[in-house]
């Protein structure tokens, strides 16, 4: 039985009951001679019944996506890629596209889908073309620029674009950026239907959204859902829009569309343990994607800023050890030698609270903010250091491949060592030759690291240059710093490892 026919009669009977009670009260008053004395009581024997208040949120029913499909569908394209191989090369298995999907998202390969061992191309026989993969995209401008995912076109010898009206074009890859997984391709056509770009800042959690793409090669497939979360951190360069829109292999590169018919994201990833849709999908925010696409269209590549630091998250325990009022910012765990950060005076152990006027709420905010800053620009950096804020000025450099820090190879001289049992460190003085080689003014060399120190990532041949916010230039400094350490709190240690200065947090063991 539905709730509506039950609620309505109950409400009518309640009102009727109140009216009956009012009538009884009138009759009692007449019989007892009080009607003339209190006429108001007769006219209004009881307080009026307050009607039920309407619900604060109006539910309007399920949305109709047909108008959106008609408006945006013609601007969505199917993208298939082709590779050229020598005849006789290992054929592509039917599951190869699914395996690529598993590799991209780190999903365990199911039994029975063991990847084929790559075979070298055989030189005999003519070159042949074979399908490599399938994806989606959408038209940015009427003159044929199309946006998609970088992994859709990566490594392809030929890219074929099929429009909604079934016309096919061979596309040219204008540029591709693996870090954000955004690519732009171009077809030679005019007067094409283009999408409208939406404002991601207006997108709200719980809002209906729609996707159009080619899952498993099924062109012009429409799926819908809601926005599950914004600014979702997945470890990639960009924050993602999380939805429950059904996304599968082949949807990659297709648009995520709001109820105003605007593109707010590029469908890029899913979370899955099986390879199929499990209710969690991720889309690249369109404002970030457009910023990348503009650079790709202008120069064919993306230029990003860098300052040369290694960072880590700031949790409550670390914030307390540093005297930081709340857990926020990006902890500088390492600074590259001669980098923009080093030249600006940023030190390991600093916590960056804002960069170029933009707040750094969590550590993953910093790479995005710095990356979007033009190389050569000067930026004000607000840092937390030794219990106080200070502002530094850094000149942003151009992004380059990260250099791998190598451990110092200073020879161990036959000198006495000093053990700090609570930290798990055995150290010794540096020789003058080692200081010149390592380009440090002082410090102590780690001979052995175990227990708490090893768990914090310290190792042999690291040079300790600071303990507990105190500078260490010699063994005496080290001993004094260790003696002053609190016994029940984590200890910050500053080390030099090769070209990098790094920061570690040791959780000491109680003395035995």
Residues catalogued as catalytic: 151, 181, 252
Token duo for residue 247: 């996304």
Other beta carbons less than 10 A from residue 202's beta carbon: 11
Q: Taking the mean position of all CA atoms in its chain, how far away is CA 263?
A: 19
Q: Is 450 annotated as a binding residue?
A: no
Q: Is 252 annotated as a binding residue?
A: yes
Determine which helix (DSSP H) or strand (DSSP E) holds 287, and give its type and residue range. Answer: helix 286-299
Count of CA atoms in the C-beta half-sphere (13 A) of 309: 30
Three-class DSSP category at 116: coil
Contact 268, 181 (CB under 8 A): yes
Pairwise CA distance, residues 307 & 210, whole Å: 39
Query: H-type helices in 75-125, by residue range?
Result: 96-105
Determine which helix (DSSP H) or strand (DSSP E) holds 313, and give its type and residue range. Answer: strand 309-313
Cβ contacts of 15 within 8 Å, gap of 6 or more = 49
Other beta carbons less than 10 A from residue 223's beta carbon: 22
Query: H-type helices in 372-443, by residue range?
Result: 432-438
Rg (CA), the chain: 33
Q: Is 2 annotated as a binding residue?
A: no
Strands 351-355 and 378-385 turn out to be antiparallel
Pairwise CA distance, residues 183 & 203, whole Å: 23
Picking from 301, 341, 66, 77, the residue whose alpha carbon sits closest to that of residue 189 is: 77
Pairwise CA distance, residues 266 & 135, whole Å: 12
Token duo for residue 264: 């707010």
Within the chain, how many helices (H) and strands (E) appear?
12, 28
Residues that constitute the known binding site for substrate: 151, 181, 250-252
User: Per the annotation, where are the binding residues?
Assistant: 151, 181, 250-252
């Amino acid at each position: 039985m539905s709730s509506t026919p039950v609620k309505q009669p109950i409400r009518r009977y309640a009102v009727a009951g109140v009216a009956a009670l009012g009538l009884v009260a009138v009759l009692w008053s007449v019989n007892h001679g009080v009607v003339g004395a209190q006429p108001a009581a007769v006219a209004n024997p009881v307080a009026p019944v307050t009607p039920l208040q309407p619900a604060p949120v109006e539910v309007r029913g399920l949305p109709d996506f047909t108008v959106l499909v008609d408006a945006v569908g013609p601007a969505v394209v199917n993208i298939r890629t082709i590779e050229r191989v020598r005849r006789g090369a290992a054929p592509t298995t039917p599951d190869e596209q699914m395996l690529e999907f598993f590799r991209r998202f780190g999903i365990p390969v199911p039994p029975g889908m063991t990847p084929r061992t790559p075979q070298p191309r055989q030189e005999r026989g003519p070159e042949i073309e074979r399908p490599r993969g399938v994806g989606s995209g959408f038209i940015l401008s009427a003159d044929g620029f199309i946006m998609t995912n970088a992994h859709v076109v990566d490594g392809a010898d030929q890219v074929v674009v099929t429009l909604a009206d079934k016309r096919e074009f061979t596309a040219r890859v204008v540029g591709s950026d693996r870090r954000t997984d955004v690519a732009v391709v171009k077809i030679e056509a005019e007067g094409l239907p283009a999408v409208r770009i939406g404002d991601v800042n207006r997108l709200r959690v719980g809002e209906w959204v729609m996707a159009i793409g080619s899952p498993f090669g099924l062109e012009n497939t429409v799926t819908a859902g809601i926005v599950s979360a914004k600014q979702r951190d997945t470890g990639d360069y960009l924050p993602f829009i999380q939805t429950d829109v059904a996304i599968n292999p082949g949807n990659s590169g297709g648009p995520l569309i709001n109820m105003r018919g605007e593109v707010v994201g590029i469908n890029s990833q899913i979370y899955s343990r099986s390879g199929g849709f499990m209710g969690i999908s991720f889309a690249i925010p369109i404002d970030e994607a457009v910023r990348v696409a503009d650079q790709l269209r202008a120069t064919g590549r993306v230029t990003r800023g860098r300052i040369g630091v290694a960072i880590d998250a700031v949790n409550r325990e670390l914030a307390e050890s540093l005297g930081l009022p709340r857990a926020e910012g990006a902890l500088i765990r390492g600074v590259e030698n001669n980098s923009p950060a080093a030249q600006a005076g940023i030190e390991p152990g600093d916590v960056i609270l804002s960069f170029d006027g933009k707040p750094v709420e969590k550590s993953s905010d910093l790479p995005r903010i710095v990356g979007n800053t033009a190389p050569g620009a000067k930026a004000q950096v607000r840092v937390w250091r030794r219990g106080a804020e200070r502002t530094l000025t850094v000149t942003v450099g151009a992004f380059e491949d990260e250099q791998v820090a190598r451990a110092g190879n200073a020879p161990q001289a036959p000198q006495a060592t000093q053990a700090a049992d609570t930290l798990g460190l055995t150290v010794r003085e540096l020789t003058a030759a080692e200081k010149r080689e390592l380009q440090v003014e002082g410090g102590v060399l780690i001979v052995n690291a175990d227990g708490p120190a090893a768990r914090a990532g310290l190792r042999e041949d690291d040079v300790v240059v600071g303990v507990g916010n105190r500078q260490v230039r010699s063994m005496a400094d080290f001993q004094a710093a260790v003696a002053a350490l609190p016994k029940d709190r984590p200890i910050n240690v500053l080390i030099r490892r090769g070209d990098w200065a790094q920061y570690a947090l040791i959780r000491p063991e109680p003395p035995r």
